[in-house]
């Protein structure tokens, strides 16, 4: 299995969902605040305009010669100044009131307009030397005699109330956002713990421990998925147990009679020498070879089964890989010399690894045996141990016929053999044993690109899920 980095939090669904929730909530809150602010402002303007219209109607009902006096009386009578009045001539010259000039843009059709101090209201309002009103709502009309009468109302208190409402909404929204994020983070961490436990158990299942089961009890989608997977594992374990039992039974039952047949053939061959029959001797030799081949295949099948049910990590120890590789090379170097094959072995010193020495020796022996077996006379085989940033790596390169790219996965299956190597004696189980040992150790086997021959790479470090 290829290494996958699942340790980064951002690769988890929880942070992304929380980020999406925060963005959507913030955008929704801004839209809500904008809608509330706009609605409150329009409602406030409508109410103020209604009051200003009533003021205009009230003063417009006064006789023209009493209008100035009525304005002065209203100003003196109001203790808290909220309304401002101004009377101007037809050409806009100041006559009376607290408004010294007509603000720019004010309509004379009884239409309200908001003025802000420092912009459209600067130096307009002046009452007993007080600072001009910051924000007012202004409405004006032309009187019966042509003069212009203007009424303005202070919006400070209304705007302060609106600001308080918006601030409360903003504060409540921020608290709700952080509260929602905290609750989501807590729920997410809880789900993360469950997923971590499920991932840990799934890793054990992937390593071959089919007795493991996913935890249940959450009463949610994960719990439903765990029940389905557990049911599937029950069926897989049952079927695999039945198949393994049948295969092992067949291998055990047939190995004994085949051994007897092999012994009988040897005895027949000894007696057949007295008849000096060359054809009979060849037939007997062929029968013995086929019987040996069947015995080797059954032995390999039983070995693969033994490796598959081996207790994980039970017999593992710290071992020096360069020593093990050197021993394999020393064992097969005479065989290479016998076939006039150049054998190159490179074993630098590297840190120890954790593994089963016997299984790894068997794995490398199978690989070197295949390399020498399929390399023609005068070829070359190289076995090299190197240390990478992730861990030790063993490269085995030969100049044989090679393995086609479309058959590299199939050659690890039981009894599969490439078309160009079917004429060479063998059981077709060597790479199956190698594959079983690699799965037990969580290593990885892959193929390198070479012009001719085969380049097998064994990455001797765990390749499990993080």
pLDDT given at position 273:
67
433: confidence class by pLDDT, cuts 50, 70, 90: confident
User: Is the pTM for the entire model greater than 0.75?
Assistant: no
Taking CB atoms within 8 Å and a gap of at least 24, the contacts of 444-450 are 444/1, 444/2, 445/412, 447/403, 447/408, 448/395, 448/397, 450/397, 450/402
Q: Which residues contact 266 (CB under 8 A, 6 or more apart)?
A: 288
CA nearest 325: which of 252, 401, 406, 385?
A: 385
293: confidence class by pLDDT, cuts 50, 70, 90: low
Per-residue pLDDT tens digits for 161-194: 888 888 888 888 888 888 888 888 887 787 778 7
Strand partners, 113: 138
CA nearest 153: which of 76, 56, 85, 90?
A: 85
Mean pLDDT calculated for residue range 107-120:
76
Region class of 118: left (phi > 0), else alpha (psi between -120 and 50), else beta? left
pLDDT given at position 221:
75
Residue 136 clears pLDDT 70, i.e. is over it: yes
Burial of 217 (0-12, 13-18, 19+ CB in 10 A): exposed
The secondary element (H helix, E strand) that includes residue 385 is strand 380-387
> Where do we find the tokens 């207790």?
311
Mean pLDDT calculated for residue range 419-431:
51
Q: CB 233: neighbour CB atoms within 10 A?
A: 16
pLDDT given at position 302:
60
pLDDT given at position 208:
67
Per-residue pLDDT tens digits for 247-292: 666 666 666 676 667 677 777 767 666 666 677 777 777 777 767 6
Q: Which residues contact 122 (CB under 8 A, 6 or more apart)?
A: 132
Per-residue pLDDT tens digits for 196-236: 888 888 877 776 677 788 888 767 777 788 888 888 888 87
Per-residue pLDDT tens digits for 385-418: 999 988 999 999 998 887 776 665 555 554 445 4
Mean pLDDT calculated for residue range 77-91:
78
Backbone angles phi, psi at 43, to 5 degrees: -65, -40
Show the DSSP H helices in 142-277 as ranges. 156-206, 221-272
- 3 is written with which tokens? 């290494």
What does the DSSP 8-state code read for residue 61?
T
């Amino acid at each position: 299995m290829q290494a996958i980095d699942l340790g980064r939090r951002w690769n988890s669904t929880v942070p992304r969902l929380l980020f999406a929730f925060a963005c959507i909530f913030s955008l929704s809150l801004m839209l809500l605040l904008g809608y509330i602010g706009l609605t409150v402002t329009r409602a406030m303007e409508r109410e103020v305009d209604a009051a200003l219209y009533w003021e205009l109607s009230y003063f417009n009902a006064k006789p023209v010669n009493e209008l100035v006096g009525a304005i002065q009386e209203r100003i003196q009578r109001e203790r808290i100044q909220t309304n401002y009045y101004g009377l101007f001539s037809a050409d806009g010259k100041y006559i009376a009131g607290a408004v010294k000039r007509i603000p720019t843009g004010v309509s004379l059709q009884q239409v309200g307009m908001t003025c802000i101090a420092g912009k459209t209201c600067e130096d307009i309002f002046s009452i007993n030397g007080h600072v001009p009103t910051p924000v007012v709502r202004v409405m004006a009309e032309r009187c019966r005699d042509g003069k212009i009468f203007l009424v303005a109302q202070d919006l400070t208190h209304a705007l302060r109330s609106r600001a308080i409402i918006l601030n409360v909404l903003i504060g409540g929204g921020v608290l709700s956002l952080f509260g929602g994020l905290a609750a989501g983070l807590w729920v997410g961490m809880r789900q993360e713990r469950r997923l971590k436990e499920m991932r840990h158990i799934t890793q054990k299942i992937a390593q071959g421990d089919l007795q493991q089961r996913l935890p249940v009890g959450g009463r949610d989608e994960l719990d439903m998925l765990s029940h389905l997977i557990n049911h599937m594992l029950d069926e897989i374990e049952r079927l695999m147990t039945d198949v393994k039992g049948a295969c092992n039974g067949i291998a055990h039952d047939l190995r004994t009679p085949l051994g007897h047949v092999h012994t009988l053939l040897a005895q027949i061959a000894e007696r057949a020498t007295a008849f000096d029959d060359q054809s009979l001797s060849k037939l007997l030799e062929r029968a013995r070879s086929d019987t040996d081949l069947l015995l080797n295949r059954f032995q390999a099948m039983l070995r693969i089964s033994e490796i598959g049910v081996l207790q994980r990590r039970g017999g593992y120890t710290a071992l020096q890989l360069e020593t093990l590789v050197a021993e394999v090379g020393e064992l097969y170097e005479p065989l290479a010399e016998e076939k006039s094959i150049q054998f190159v072995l490179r074993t630098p010193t590297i840190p120890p690894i954790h593994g089963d020495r016997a299984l790894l020796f068997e794995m490398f022996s199978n690989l070197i045996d295949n390399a020498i077996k399929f390399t023609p006379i005068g070829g070359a085989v190289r076995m090299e141990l190197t240390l990478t940033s992730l861990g030790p790596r063993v490269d085995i390169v030969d100049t044989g016929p090679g393995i086609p790219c479309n058959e590299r996965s199939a050659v690890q299956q039981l009894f599969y053999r490439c078309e160009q190597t079917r004429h060479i004696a063998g059981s077709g189980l060597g790479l199956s044993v190698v594959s079983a040992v690699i799965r037990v150790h969580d290593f990885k086997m892959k193929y390198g690109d070479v012009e001719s021959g085969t380049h097998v790479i064994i990455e001797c470090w765990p390749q499990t899920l993080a």
